[in-house]
Each structure stands twice: as structure tokens, then as C-alpha cells.
Chains A and B, each alone.
Chain A
Amino acid sequence: MSQITVRVDGVTYTDEVEPRTLLVHYLREQLGKVGTVVGCDTSNCGACTVHLDGAAVKSCTVLAVQADGSEVTTIEGLAAEDGTLHPVQKAFHEMHGLQCGFCTPGMIMASVDLLKENPHPSESEIREGIEGNLCRCTGYQNIVRAVRQAAGEMSAPETTGAQA
């Protein structure tokens, strides 16, 4: 067993893990963070995507011991503390960027990562940016619309409060 200290969604945890424990299993089974799901278990589908030190990764393809000393953000840590949804979460809701919803946590975490690097992606850049996330329901159309809407909202100038 190895001892790890990880900050997950703003809370610091110190735990014993086996080196072979995958990050996604640590999140779900030791921390109860079941918002992050296991989809394909073969590093393809991206449903388990979380942010590790700010970058989107497939948490089924990272060992929990590798997160020692790191900061992890899951879908559960994305909304504001008062429950206000992140603009990408809100856009997926409003544009109906999901049907069964299983791919949604990973899809949103990948989209947030994409928009951080490219705040104004074209439609093809969005499709390439989320190529590591598979959705078997929607045909991606509303997912792409949702990411576009979120990009617009996140880059829009603040309308409240005067700027001198």
C-alpha cells in the first residue's frame, strides 16, 4: 500500500491505496465521487474524464498513486459552491446535449479543458477537441451546440456592473 495525499474538488484527502488502483476507482470507491463514471474501461470512451492539475485526463488510465500531491477536479466540483452550474453544465442542460447522460460528466470535463485552451473554437475544432469522448445517443449535434453556447457565454463581457 502507498499513502497518497490528493486534493479533490477542493477537499484534501490522505489515503492508503494499492499501486494498481486506478484513479477512477479511487474516486468512486474510496471517496464516493460516483459522478465520474467508468464507461469502456479501455481508454477509449472518455466518460471517466477528470482534470488532473488542470488538464483533462482519462481517470481509468492514471494510477491513483500518480495523483499524489496533485489537484483533481471531477464533475462534482465544477459548479459553484452555491450550486450555480458552470456555463458548460448549463449549456448542456439548455441545449439538451445529452440523452442517456452517461457520457455527460466526461464530455463536460473535456469541453471545459478545450475551452480553457481555445475559448473560441470553430465547430470542427469542437468536434476534434472532444474526439476522445464517445456518445452513443445524440449523434453529437446538441453536444457541439452546447459547447458553442458555453464558449459564447464564457467569453461574453460582463453585463452587470459598470466598467469605467
Chain B
Amino acid sequence: MIPAAFAYARPTTVEEALQAIADGGEDVKVMAGGQSLIPVMRLRMAAPETVVDLVSVSEMRGVRDDGDALVVGAMTTHHDVLVDPLIAEHAPLLVQATETVADRQVRARGTFGGALAHADPAGDLAAVALALDAEMVIAGSGGRRTVPAADFFVDYLTTCLEEGELLVEVRIPKLRGEWGVRYEKFNRVAQAWSIVAVAAAVRRENGHIAEARIGLTNMGSTPLRAQATEAALAGADASAAAIAAAAERAAEGTSPTSDLNAQADYREHLARVLTRRAVSAAAGL
């Protein structure tokens, strides 16, 4: 299958990219790594008039240390995330989740920012961004704005990005203190999407859980935080019993879909089980 014809722009700077988007006509698609967009275009589920390819915008690649946060360029590939020493040190949860994304060929091209902007609820990285309280830096014709991950994901395949805007980088606050992390993913076959997955970061203090942050993948049209479980864990014993009790509430407030992979009630079951496993591992049990 071959995509429908389109005009192609390959800017080399963010400014040029914004201009190319503005000049691209009615129906412009921004291409990051292309690992979701090209398949969709091949199937003719998308047939944009213009594709603005960010592959040559080098200022959008790479990771830098900005004191309290890491700044990850939106065009940083999954492979580059996996081998980056700063991410390994300050955001190991992102490493664990990225390892489970697709396969090595796709990880060589696919990008962190592209995956977030695509906003597929079965994608692994959005729940991580949510659990780590990441902030999205968005460039537009009027300058830049910063949006918390919680406000970035709006609906199925939909973010708060307005027409003409571009996700340029993601700020990930460094975890301070004694944190443990775990990404638990359930799928049936290699390289498949998550049926459900759970991203957990747990801070321990004197044998207690001081704080737990839990992001849920594919438990609704956007990534979600397991708020009831987080509240139940705050100040709880770092014990198997306390974690199991809190994890029972992991599906509260979620609205998972039913599809060929799983019914909604099975997804709720998975959320509880995977939350128990992820939090237990993150708490060092």
C-alpha cells in the first residue's frame, strides 16, 4: 500500500517548521519519527495535503540537564532515550517503559515527542509523562507555552495542541529522595500495544510510603492517574498487605474500552493486579 500524494516539507529549525505548517494549506500533518503516521497514511486513514517532516530539526533532539528537570527534545528517538545517561539517572521509569515500546527498528525512528503528540491511549509513554508530572513545551506563532501533562492529553488521539502548534520539548522533573520505579505492561505478543500497563513511582521514608505516583495506560481515552490508590498509599506501610489493599482501588475513576483484546471489566482487573505488582516492585518488596 502506498500513501496518497502529498506535498513534503523538511524544515531544519523550529521556526522553519512553524512556517511550513502555516504555509501547508488546510490539512497539514506533522511527522516526527513517522512510525505511527506512515502506517496510517499507507492505510489511507490519513491523507494529508502536506507533511511537515521534523527529521532534520536537530535542535529538537537530545536531552539536557536543567537543574531540577531534564529537558527531552521531542524528536529524541526511543533508542536515544534508552542509551541516555541523564535519563538513566533521573528518569529510569521512562527507560523501563521505552524498552517495551514496539521493537528495535521502530525505536530507532520513533520519537518520544511524536508518541506523546499522537496520544494513543494504548501508547506507553503518556502514562509515564503523567506519573512523572512532566510538562510539555509547545511552540506556536505567538511564542512558547508550557502545559502540564495532565492538561495535555484531552481525548482519544487528541491533545491540547492547537492548529499551527508544535510540541518541541518535554520537561521531566527529577525525582528527589528515595524513589523506586516500575513499569508493568500486559500484552499478548511481542511488539504489541499494551492491553493495560501501569507506571509507578514510589518514594519511601522510614519504612513508609511517603508518596506514590501511578499512571495508567489504556484505561480510558487518555492516560490517567490512579488517584484513589495514590491517596490510599500516602503514609501507608510499605507492606504487601497495605499495597494490595490500595491497589484494589486502581480502577476507580477509569473508563476503559472493550475491544478484541479485552473487555472493560477485564481491563479493570488488570489495572488492579498490575498496580499491585508495579507498586510492590517500586517500593522494593
Binding site for B on A (CB under 8 A): 2, 18-22, 25, 41-44, 46, 49, 52, 55-58, 60-63, 65-66, 110, 113-114, 128-129, 131-133
Contacts and interface: CB of A to CB of B under 8 A. Distances in A.
A52 B41 CA distance: 21
B122 to A, nearest CB: 15
A46 B51 contact: no
Contacts of B190: 128, 131-132
A57 B38 CA distance: 13
B5 A132 contact: no
B206 interface: no
Given A62-B34, A62-B109, A66-B55, A46 B5 contact: no
B5 A20 contact: yes
12 contacts: A18-B5, A19-B7, A20-B5, A22-B3, A42-B43, A46-B103, A46-B105, A61-B38, A63-B53, A65-B10, A110-B104, A131-B190
Contacts, number: 82
Contacts of B3: 20, 22
B51 A19 contact: yes
Most buried by A among B43, B104, B106: B104
Nearest to A42: B39
B53 A66 contact: yes
Nearest to B4: A20
A44 B191 CA distance: 8
Contacts of A42: 39, 42-43
Q: Which of A18, A62, A63 is packed against the most chain B CB atoms within 10 Å?
A: A63
A22 B103 contact: no
A131 B8 contact: no
A129 B104 CA distance: 7
Contact of A61 (B35, B79, B191): B35
A46 to B, nearest CB: 6
Contacts of B1: 41
A80 B34 CA distance: 33
A20 B4 CA distance: 7
B6 interface: yes
Interface residues of B, number: 29
Contacts of A133: 103
Interface of B: 1-8, 10, 34-35, 38-39, 41-43, 51, 53, 55, 79, 102-106, 108-109, 190-191
A57 B191 contact: no
Contacts of A46: 103, 105
A65 B2 contact: no
A132 to B, nearest CB: 3
A57 B7 contact: no
Given A42-B39, A62-B38, A57 B109 contact: yes
Contact of A43 (B4, B7, B38, B55): B38
Given A41-B42, A43-B39, A57-B108, A131 B4 contact: no
Contacts of A56: 104-105, 108
A160 to B, nearest CB: 33
Given A18-B5, A22-B2, A63-B38, A49 B105 contact: yes
Contacts of B103: 46, 131-133
